[in-house]
Amino acid sequence: MPKPRTRSFDTSDFLDDDEIIAEYLTAALEESDPDVFLTAIGQVAKARGMARIADRTGLGRESLYKALAPGAKPRYDTVLKVLQSLGVKLVLKAV
């Protein structure tokens, strides 16, 4: 009997709609671990095309990958540039 073929799950395969992306990033931002949010931004950037995002932000691709890696401490303005290039913005609301 042949083994079933499986494929690794890649979140970026499902991030193809602006509303889905906004909800995904919002959910990631609600986590207490900042690496969750950085990883989520990286997944969205991958879905949108990392080279395109790097070009829009003025960052090199390697710099972008490093800034969004778990454990990275990117500058606030870098995060804002990336979010803007992804077509989303941070919005605060009272809890």
C-alpha span between 26 and 81 (Å, rounded): 17
What pLDDT is attached to residue 5? 85
Predicted confidence (pLDDT) per residue in 58-95, tens digit: 999 999 999 999 899 999 999 999 999 999 988 888 98
Single out the residue of 68, 87, 76 nearest to residue 28, CA to CA: 68
What pLDDT is attached to residue 78? 94
Token pair belonging to 77: 């303005």
Q: What ranges do the domains of the chain cover?
A: 18-86
Topology of the domain covering 18-86:
434 Repressor (Amino-terminal Domain) (1.10.260)
Predicted confidence (pLDDT) per residue in 5-61, tens digit: 877 888 878 888 888 899 999 999 999 999 999 999 999 999 999 999 999 999 999
